[in-house]
Structure 1
Amino acid sequence: MIIDTSQISQIYLVCGKTDLRKGIDGLAGIVQEQYDLDPYSQALYLFCGTRKDRFKVVPCQ
């Protein structure tokens, strides 16, 4: 997936360990429930797993 960076208004780095086995819907749920943010806004959410060299991104729509 190629992300158009001109459409991104904010970038959030979610600190702490996240289970990266969750799909995009599960991670979007974390954004919505734990952080009270809109996962469908023009923002980019970066999640870190237990290993420090792996990230998963919830892209903007």
Structure 2
Amino acid sequence: MFRLADNLRVYLHRDPIDFRAGINGLAILVEQNMGHNPFERAVFAFCNRRRTRMKLLFFDRSGFVLVLKALSEDRFRWPRREEKVLALDAEQLHWLLDGIDLDAMIRHPVRQYEYVG
């Protein structure tokens, strides 16, 4: 299993895509539909209509990398939110790849304290 850097931004395209799209088609989708620069330090995640396949696209210093994960018997638990593009962190992407429902996960809020008391 591969691991992405913890500080990497992840953008998830919520609607299913035509999975015949390759690197160029996905890079255009990132730029025109998602409103992001496909060359930025980020991973862009896409899923097919049946939620059995996921593609990850990212630019790695000298070229694009396209990763495909295909499930034979299960489905990805794609978030059911209104936003067209969801911002995730690398940990949440790994959870999604492992079959965890992100909508069911609730984290403790981040707290900022100014003194110990």
TM over 0.5, shorter chain:
yes
The answer for the alignment partner of 1:42 in structure 2 is 41
Q: Is this contact kept in 2: 1:8–1:60, CA < 8 A?
A: no
More helix by share: 1
The corresponding residue for 1:52 is 51
RMSD of equivalent CA atoms: 1.9
**Which has the higher Rg, Structure 1 or Structure 2?**
2
- Residue 37 of structure 1 aligns to which amino acid in structure 2? H
Give 5+ residue unaligned stretches, structure 2: 61-117
Structure 1 segments unaligned to the other structure (5+ residues):
none
Residue aligned with 1:26, SS:
helix
Higher relative contact order (CA 8 A, sep 6+): 1
Alignment of 1:1-61 (within 5 A): 5-6=4-5, 9-61=8-60
Give the TM-score, by structure 2 length. Answer: 0.45
Q: Percent identity?
A: 29
2:79 maps to what in 1?
Answer: none
Q: Say which SS state the counterpart of residue 39 (structure 2) adopts.
A: coil
Size of the aligned set, in residue pairs, is: 59
* TM-score, length basis structure 1: 0.80
